[in-house]
Amino acid sequence: MNTVLDADGEKRAMGKQTGLAQVLALLTAVGLACCAHRASTGVGVTSAPSSGSEHPLSPTATYDVQSLQHDCDGGNARACVTLGAVYATGHGVVREDARAASLFQRGCDGGSAIGCTNLGLLYLSGRGVAHDDARAAQLWQRACDGGDAQGCADIGQCYVEGRGVARDDARAAGFWQRACDGGDAQGCAHLGGLYATGNGVSHDDAHAAQLFQRACDGGDVGGCTSLGACYALGHGVAHDDVHAAQLFQRGCDGRDALGCTNLGLLYATGRGVVRDYTRAADLDQRGCDGGDPGGCTNLGALYAAGHGVPQDIARATEFYQRGCTGGDAAGCKDLQTLSAP
């Protein structure tokens, strides 16, 4: 799920002894990881200019709360949504989630599709209203039908996760296609993930790569990371490690944890870049700290081998444990190997 919008819208097989030499199996795992669907857990906000264009709520702008309230009370749904966004983020006012929810509801009822999207995000997170996945899904369906691309992206996420609706990858693909066609970059990235895995659609690596390209060009850093994995693996595009490294760098710079981990793998193996274990360790640390368990596992391997960091079995154990706890099977396997007598 994305951000709250305004009324106008917005290794892994690296073992204790020989791990760093096992590159291809590692990168295959990365390729699969690139296709995971990323759901944002945060709730952000955008503003409502009268021009009808989408853009983020300006952090430096001052919003006239009294005027917005007056316009909202007069039936201006766009003003209700913008005022709701102000209260949802505490932008120049005390944050009031319940008030934001009420304002988004008024905007939604007044015909603002983005008001419906925003209200759905509050139901998802239980902010200002009781947590209700089914209600969130209903609101996103309404938003999507009303023309809001983010609403389409969010209802698609519901269908692929079975959250508030019965799981249905084919329906998710349909909604993500609508989101992508409507300009939602994350919708393109998610749809690319389905084509890369063949879930809900026919497997098509070339089309997946095209969708990841659209996502990356549209500002979705996860799309850049996924496209990088396509180039690293030669899936749907010609194999090109140098371009893969550039795309992973874009992902990592945009705080996509998997992008950092993937780039760390290239530095550890010297593919597309000059081998640099110290740089690999730094990138794996960023990936691990950013929430990618594979980054933790890979950093554990570097500590176990003493590559780029001082050899430290205790630290290796710590990072293997973090990888394992985070769901990385290789981390569990390496932890077991490291603990064996």
168-183 tens-digit pLDDT: 999 999 999 999 999 9
CATH number assigned to the domain comprising residue 274: 1.25.40.10
The domain in which residue 262 lies consists of 240-336
**301 φ/ψ angles, rounded to the nearest 5 degrees:** -65, -35
Instruction: Report the distance separating Cα 284 and Cα 278, nearest Å.
Output: 10
59 pLDDT band, cuts 50/70/90, is low
Range 187-214 average pLDDT? 96
125: exposed, middle or buried (Cβ count in 10 Å: 0-12, 13-18, 19+): middle
67 within a domain of the structure (yes/no): no
**45 φ/ψ angles, rounded to the nearest 5 degrees:** -160, 150
Q: What is the largest CA-CA distance in the chain?
A: 75
Beta strands per DSSP E along the chain: none
Q: Indicate whether 61 pLDDT > 50.
A: yes
316 within a domain of the structure (yes/no): yes
Q: How many domains does the chain have?
A: 1
In the block, tokens 């892994």 appear at: 12
Question: Are the C-beta atoms of 300 and 285 separated by less than 8 Å?
Answer: no
274 within a domain of the structure (yes/no): yes
pTM strictly above 0.95 = no
Instruction: Report the distance separating Cα 281 and Cα 296, nearest Å.
Output: 10
227 within a domain of the structure (yes/no): no
Q: What is the pLDDT of residue 181?
A: 97
113 within a domain of the structure (yes/no): no
148 within a domain of the structure (yes/no): no
Instruction: Report the distance separating Cα 54 and Cα 301, nearest Å.
Output: 45
Q: Indicate whether 282 pLDDT > 90.
A: yes
- β-partners of residue 46 are 56
| Mean pLDDT of the chain, nearest integer | 85
277 within a domain of the structure (yes/no): yes
Count of alpha carbons within 13 angstroms of residue 153, beta-carbon side: 32
3-state secondary structure of 128: coil
